[in-house]
């Protein structure tokens, strides 16, 4: 193995040469306090930064093994150290050292969620940070002296302030880990208690702004308090007894006037699939981990999806049991989204009427009399929502403000009044009895759907010379020449998740898509691989820097594949 002196010698030798001379640095170097792996060297100062790993032996790092003894703790601790390293980089007095990305040192940025990432790896033997670094240049000329400063002084500072247990707040790390363990425990308790979600008393649900996911602060913030009739108590390993609102299995409506907190509550439950950091305000807003937000999505691509439970007898005679389109309408896209969520094994659908297709959600009595049922191919959601639960055990949480007919099918009704929830189930049922809807229920008593969709290898061929797959934030993935639109897949929260999804698609193309296995079977194999070998397994080049991935749920990976316009399914 090379040493720090060897690295200095190489940098002195290539100082002033063309930028490609930096390629000579690739390799492994032993420093006094850490090991440096230079995995990838950029070919140009304006290109994507170089990738390095910094590894510190656990004997020096001094991290108590109890903090990462099980997976939930390990995930939380790696998340914590990622944030510590990011803070150390931010505090470091560094300046741009030339052109392009010269002088840049960075690690994956974390949001409010605690999730499995590849930015930091902690084992019994070491802690390893995966960093990006912009090797300094003037124009396209190597600046060797400045590079020496980055590799020696700045990396040593990052190690000293961000990777050693004695340099961090141990109590804060312990709280981070124990909170995650409590959140995982609470999520595992939901099903046995007949719940799909839990919202703790004292939670802060409103966010700082439309572009910030941090909690709203100030004296005017109303903390969450459960109605007495819905309040449940849970006992957690570290937090002890916590009380809050239990959202029961079945059909739950969130009603109320505009701007009274209906969508805010739904959004919090929507994000309850993730664990959250201390101080987020939603630490104990916990949802079953396979819940899926459903909305209308005009123009989306649909490939061989069974939407027949909702749409049938089209004037075009198209088979809705195997429905395909390049440009779905609001109603057909919403039907496809529900069918695909069922295929992805959801137990909870989340809907907000503001983002749903009206004709998909309901047909009132007057419209039913004007447009006869034999002329209307849509079986509205109101006539299917109860069957989803009775036949498939899939619950629904629905924000509704303008269709009281849903009172007839609701098991629970929650009224939001100035951000305070009240249970109004009995009152809603009384109103339904007093003012009958007079609409005719359409459809059948059963809910039957075909989920045997087998993807074909040809659909995953990348139509570009470099087989390029690249994410664009959380909004899209560029798969070769084709852009996968994810802007309406609302439970993606981190661009590193979309990066991982793109690589998962490449991984299954190479390993599992054979024209025989269903999409569900294939993705289950991939997630089994990631559980067994870690998220690194999807990296295109094993043994190198895979530091910018975050674990996506199987539901979002399903969603991305279903929106790939080259997808072919039998």
DSSP-assigned letters across all residues of 390-452: HHH--EEEEE-SS-GGGGGG-SEEEEEETTEEEE-HHHHHHHHHHS---PPP-S-SS------
Out of 119, 145, 168, pick the residue that ends a domain. Answer: 168
Confidence of residue 445 (pLDDT cuts 50, 70, 90): confident
In whole angstroms, give the CA distance from residue 373 to residue 439: 12
Q: What is the pLDDT of residue 466?
A: 66
Confidence of residue 437 (pLDDT cuts 50, 70, 90): confident
Cross-strand pairs, 122 = 127
- Alpha-carbon distance values, 486 to 369, 405, 467 (Å): 38, 32, 20
- Alpha-carbon distance values, 274 to 93, 115, 286, 536, 553 (Å): 34, 7, 8, 21, 10
Confidence of residue 443 (pLDDT cuts 50, 70, 90): confident
Angle at 250 between CA 336 and CA 186, to 5 degrees: 100
pLDDT digits (tens, 9 = 90+) for 194-232: 999 999 999 999 999 888 999 999 888 999 999 999 999
Q: How many domains does the chain have?
A: 2
Task: Specify if 400 maps to a domain.
Answer: no
In whole angstroms, give the CA distance from residue 305 to residue 197: 29
Out of 168, 186, 206, pick the residue that ends a domain. Answer: 168
- Give the contacts of 560 (CB within 8 A, at least 6 positions apart): 477, 484, 486, 489, 498, 501, 502, 505
- Of the chain, the percentage scoring pLDDT greater than 90 comes to 86
Task: Specify if 186 maps to a domain.
Answer: no
pLDDT digits (tens, 9 = 90+) for 499-509: 999 999 999 99
Show the tokens assigned to 525. 């194999």
Q: What is the mean pLDDT of residues 454-479?
A: 87
Confidence of residue 464 (pLDDT cuts 50, 70, 90): low
In whole angstroms, give the CA distance from residue 52 to residue 202: 43
Name the pTM for this structure.
0.95
In the predicted model, is pLDDT for residue 316 greater than 90? Answer: no
In the predicted model, is pLDDT for residue 444 greater than 90? Answer: no
In the predicted model, is pLDDT for residue 102 greater than 90? Answer: no
Task: Specify if 388 maps to a domain.
Answer: no
Q: What is the pLDDT of residue 279?
A: 97
In whole angstroms, give the CA distance from residue 31 to residue 479: 40
From 364, 443, 360, 445, select the one nearest 403 (Cα to Cα): 364
The runs of H, that is alpha helices, within 240-383 are 262-271, 330-343, 358-361, 365-370
Residue with tokens 């790939």: 564
Phi, psi of 107 (to 5 degrees): -135, 160
- Alpha-carbon distance values, 250 to 26, 27, 134, 152 (Å): 57, 57, 53, 59
- Give the contacts of 567 (CB within 8 A, at least 6 positions apart): 301, 303, 455, 459, 460, 561
Task: Specify if 202 maps to a domain.
Answer: no
In the predicted model, is pLDDT for residue 156 greater than 80? Answer: yes
Task: Specify if 87 maps to a domain.
Answer: yes
Least confident of 150-154, 289-293, 410-414: 150-154
Q: What is the pLDDT of residue 97?
A: 67
Domain that holds residue 534: 457-562
Least confident of 16-25, 88-97, 552-561: 88-97
Q: What is the pLDDT of residue 542?
A: 67
- Give the contacts of 205 (CB within 8 A, at least 6 positions apart): 199, 224, 261, 264, 265, 267, 268, 281, 282, 285, 419
- Alpha-carbon distance values, 371 to 374, 438, 508, 532 (Å): 8, 15, 46, 55
DSSP E strands: which ranges in 210-331? 212-215, 231-236, 240-248, 251-256, 275-276, 285-287, 292-294, 302-305, 323-325
Q: Which H or E element spans position 122?
A: strand 120-122
From 322, 393, 291, 307, select the one nearest 357 (Cα to Cα): 307
- Give the contacts of 434 (CB within 8 A, at least 6 positions apart): none
Task: Specify if 101 maps to a domain.
Answer: yes
Cross-strand pairs, 212 = 209
Specify the length of the chain in residues.
570
Residue with tokens 């929260």: 493
Maximum C-alpha span of the chain: 88
Q: How do strand 476-479 and strand 469-472 relate by DSSP bridges? A: antiparallel
Phi, psi of 209 (to 5 degrees): -165, 180
Q: Which H or E element spans position 30?
A: strand 27-30
Out of 168, 203, 234, pick the residue that ends a domain. Answer: 168
Task: Specify if 96 maps to a domain.
Answer: yes
Task: Specify if 338 maps to a domain.
Answer: no
């Amino acid at each position: 193995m090379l040493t720090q002196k060897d690295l200095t010698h190489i940098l002195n030798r290539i100082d002033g040469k063309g930028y490609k001379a930096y390629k000579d640095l690739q390799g492994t170097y032993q420093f006094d306090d850490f090991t440096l792996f230079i995995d990838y060297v950029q070919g140009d100062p304006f290109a994507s930064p170089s990738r390095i790993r910094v590894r510190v032996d656990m004997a020096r790092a001094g991290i108590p093994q109890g903090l990462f003894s099980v997976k939930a703790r390990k995930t939380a601790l790696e998340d914590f150290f990622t944030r510590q390293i990011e803070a150390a980089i931010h505090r470091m007095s560094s300046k741009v050292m030339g052109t392009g990305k010269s002088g840049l040192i960075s690690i994956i940025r974390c949001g409010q969620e605690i999730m499995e990432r590849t930015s930091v790896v902690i084992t019994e033997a070491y802690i390893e940070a995966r960093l990006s670094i912009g090797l300094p240049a003037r124009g396209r000329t190597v600046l060797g002296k400045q590079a020496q400063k980055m590799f020696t002084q700045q990396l040593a500072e990052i190690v000293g302030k961000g990777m050693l247990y004695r340099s961090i707040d141990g109590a804060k790390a312990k709280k981070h880990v124990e909170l995650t363990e409590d959140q995982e425990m609470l999520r595992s308790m939901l099903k046995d208690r007949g719940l799909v979600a839990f919202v703790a008393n004292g939670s802060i649900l409103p966010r700082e702004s439309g572009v910030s996911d941090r909690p709203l602060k100030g004296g005017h913030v109303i903390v969450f308090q459960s109605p007495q009739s819905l309040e449940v108590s849970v006992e957690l390993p570290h937090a002890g007894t916590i009380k809050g609102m239990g959202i029961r299995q079945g059909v739950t409506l969130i009603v109320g006037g505009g701007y009274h907190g209906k969508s805010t509550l739904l959004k919090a439950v929507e994000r309850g699939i993730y664990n959250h950091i201390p101080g987020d305000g939603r630490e104990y807003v916990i949802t079953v981990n396979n819940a899926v937000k459903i909305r209308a999505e005009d123009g989306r691509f649909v490939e061989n999806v069974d939407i027949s439970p909702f749409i049938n007898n089209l004037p075009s005679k198209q088979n809705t049991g195997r429905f395909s389109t390049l440009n779905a309408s609001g109603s057909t896209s919403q039907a496809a989204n529900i069918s695909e969520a069922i295929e992805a094994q959801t137990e909870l659908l989340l809907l907000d009427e503001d983002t749903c297709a009206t004709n998909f959600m309901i047909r009132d009595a007057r419209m039913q009399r004007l447009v006869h049922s034999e002329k209307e191919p849509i079986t509205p959601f109101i006539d299917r929502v109860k069957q989803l639960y009775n036949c498939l055990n899939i619950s629904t949480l629905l924000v509704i403000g303008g269709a009281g007919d849903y009172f007839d099918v609701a098991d629970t009704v929650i009224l939001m009044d100035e951000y305070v929830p009240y249970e109004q189930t009995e009152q809603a049922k009384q109103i339904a009895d007093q003012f009958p809807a007079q609409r005719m229920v359409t459809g059948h008593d059963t809910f039957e759907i075909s989920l045997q969709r087998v993807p074909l290898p040809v659909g995953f061929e990348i139509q570009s010379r470099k087989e390029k797959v690249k994410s664009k934030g959380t909004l899209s993935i560029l798969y070769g020449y084709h852009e996968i639109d994810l802007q309406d897949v609302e439970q993606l929260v981190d661009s590193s998740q979309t990066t991982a999804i793109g690589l998962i698609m490449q991984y299954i193309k190479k390993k599992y898509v054979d024209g025989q296995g269903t999409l569900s079977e294939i993705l289950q194999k991939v997630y089994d691989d990631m559980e067994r070998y870690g998220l690194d397994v999807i990296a295109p080049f094993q043994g190198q820097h895979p530091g910018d991935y975050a674990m996506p749920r199987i539901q979002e990976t399903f969603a991305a594949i279903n929106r790939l316009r080259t997808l072919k399914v039998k």
